[in-house]
A and B are shown apart, each in its own frame.
Chain A
Amino acid sequence: MTQHVKMTLNGQPIEADIEPRLLLVHFIREVANLTGTHIGCDTTSCGACTVQINGVPSKSCTLFAVQMDGEEIRTVEGMEQNGALHPLQEGFYQEHGLQCGFCTPGMLMTAEAFLREHPAPTDDEIRQAIAGNLCRCTGYVNIVKAIQHAAKHIREEQAAPVATAEVTR
């Protein structure tokens, strides 16, 4: 038995006939073939599967894809715009905010939504915001720096619009 779903994924419409029990993360990874969203724990603990649903960071390993009918989903693949990295991606690159890279897409999704609400956060506020995203490699120090790097860039950009960040190879 399948059910028809239709949603927006990174700005593009997508529809499919799927089993009602199909997890959102499996829909994204295996139906839409966007493998940037990862699976780390299956229990909403680690945050590797974090995507944005209508702009709100959500853990896609414990949601069904059929619940997303009509919703707007955004994944890490939707961050780069016109060949330019998002300031957060640039910040993680500049500040060495990633090592194995497995938690990074989820971390970016959480941070992006957070900065929209908190454009000038303290380090403690950032740490609280990413507490649902586990990283085993970095010890978080450089992730906090990376998010501050991005926050500063976004604030400057909004104060005086300039060309977006140089494309990183």
Chain B
Amino acid sequence: MHELSIVLSIIDIAQQQAIKEDAAVIEEIEIDIGCLSTVEMNAFDFAWQQAVKETMLEKAERKINRINGKARCSGCEVFFPLKNLYDACPKCGEHLIDIVEGKELRVRSLIVS
């Protein structure tokens, strides 16, 4: 249940930023969550509902961008979509891969008032 820690970190980042902007309310938050980022979305949603209570994010609309996994094969240098960490390169069948996208976990922007 590390999703609760992640939600609490998001709340911290968002509130600190909103306070810096002298805002009272966060109306919207945009978050990138890569599909390979080890966040289980059901656990994340559950943690979110509980954790945002009585914070500036309580009524915020949540926009989540899921970013698909993408890898580069260091054998044949092709880029390909990666669904699981153990997927093989579709060209050479090897597992000599480097992940280039899909591990993102970041707060992109807020709308505050």
Determine if chain A interacts with chain B: no
Q: Give A residues with C-beta under 8 Å from B.
A: none
